[in-house]
Structure 1
Amino acid sequence: MPNEDTMSRIHDLEVTVWVGKSGLDPVVDELSDQLADRGLVKVKFLRAARGDTSTDALAEALAERTGADLVDTRGHTAVYK
């Protein structure tokens, strides 16, 4: 669980990466670039991306593909660092 300071930063973050019907491939490089610039990035998994897969599973897969740390998932949104 993230600490209080991190939770405050997460709450104030805007979603800057959206995963849609094209899946994870198109966002891997974008997430990596944003993480290098910002440190924390919030990602929204749209219904078209989820299909029969849970948000948690997609969030974990994206973390593995980018080498990022998955900080938190809530609803259909994940935060990476």
Structure 2
Amino acid sequence: MSNELRKQAHDLDVTVWVGKNGIDAVVDELKDQLQETKLVKIKFLRAARGTDDTETLAAKLAEKVNAELIETRGHTAVLH
């Protein structure tokens, strides 16, 4: 299942950007998008990253919205 989702995620556009306000600022929007579609691609801007890497931030965000982290690549992540 996860490989199939990764293939689908490849062509997705980023629809959520995490900036200087951090992951808490996008929780509601992300929850709404996950209800509408099964995969959401998130970009972590430099201001959001601070001392955490993308994987750490993505895992925290997935936990907050009760979603599964499918993959991280560079500064983007895909949640399901």
Calculate the TM-score normalised by the size of structure 2: 0.94
Match of 1:2 in 2: 2
Structure 1 position 8, deviation (Å): 2.4
- Percent sequence identity over matched residues? 60
- Give the TM-score normalised by structure 1: 0.93
Shift of 1:7: 2.5
Amino acid at match of 1:22: N
The alignment's C-alpha RMSD in Å is 1.2
Gap runs ≥5 in structure 1: none
CA distance in structure 2 between the aligned counterparts of 1:8 and 1:68, rounded to whole angstroms: 18
* CA distance, structure 2, for counterparts of residue 28 and residue 16 of structure 1: 13
Runs of 4+ off more than 6 Å:
none
CA distance in 2, matches of 1:30, 1:78: 15
- In 2, distance between residues paired with 1:71 and 1:28? 17
Name the counterpart of 2:68: 69
Stretches of structure 2 that go unaligned for 5 or more consecutive residues are none
Question: In the alignment, which residue of structure 2 is the partner of 1:31?
Answer: 30
Matched residue count: 80
Query: By how many angstroms is 1:26 displaced?
Result: 1.1
Match of 1:18 in 2: 17
Amino acid of the residue matched to residue 14 of structure 1? D
